[in-house]
Structure 1
């Protein structure tokens, strides 16, 4: 098997997975994002660190968000829904590339398109019986590979079973909100 398939170092991925399987202290990854409101509908999220296997690593990224003009923003960045879908697509893309590499499948091209419709009555608090979030999201995966259809179906099943953000979308996540108020 090629040691580098779909841009993935297969031996390194196998070694990483084996280390996690064998050592319970290596099982956890923790992520942190701090978002600051910039006025109107604009925010900037900062990614400064993450932890893997008990060690903390520095990161330095900013992710801007804004609403389109029609939703009272300045249209200076993707809105939170677009970022949410982009995060789903990016996570699934990693899943396809890595799982395909482990299965010996070469990906020639991959495109993931996600669509969802919100009922704004929920978001605006007009009708408390309306879900402010999505009731359904469609995901179209367009994959070009020379692998037989049965192997591609195996790959697809593996990605849907192991994608973190697919799981976050398709299963309820327990949220633990804490409100800290500064008094003037």
Structure 2
């Protein structure tokens, strides 16, 4: 089994920092919020998007899927009581000349083999579409 480790600590009432390996990210843990850092819900969405992009990076060389870029747009809906991410939707946009069938196969692979994707999908409604980037 793979294991992961992250350490986080409060800097002050306006924020915290999380570290892993040689990387560091500022966290929005200020009750009032802040615009220069990801809050916990945004970090969750970012983790899903990173999982999706990494999944494509992993499978593309194996399947010889050619692409120029990937964009993921996510939206989360939070329920207030009890606090819960009730729904997450996404749009996976791939800049590619591959046909629609191969585009859908990549999307299927992301849904089937993404660790974070599958973890979140088991806990809440997670739905989205894949589409080709158009100018």
Q: Calculate the TM-score normalised by the size of structure 1.
A: 0.61
The C-alpha deviation readout for 1:83-139, integer Å capped at 9, x for no partner, is 2111110111011122122111111221001101223x3xxxxxxxx2312111001
User: Compared with structure 1, are the counterparts of its residues 74 and 94 closer, same or farther at alpha carbon in structure 2 (3 Å cutoff)?
Assistant: closer
Runs ≥4 in structure 1, deviation > 4 angstroms? none
Q: Calculate the TM-score normalised by the size of structure 2.
A: 0.81
Instruction: Determine the C-alpha separation between the residues in 1 that align with 2:87 and 2:100.
Output: 27
> Mind listing any 5+ residue stretches in structure 2 that lack a counterpart?
124-135
CA contact (8 A) 1:40 1:73 kept: no
> May I ask how many residue pairs the two structures share in their alignment?
123
1:15-54 alignment, distance < 5 Å: 28-47=1-20
Higher strand proportion (structure 1 or 2): 2
Q: Give, in angstroms, the shift of residue 39 of structure 1.
A: 2.4
Matching residue within 47, 60, 79 for 2:22: 60
Structure number with greater Rg is 1
CA contact (8 A) 1:97 1:107 kept: no
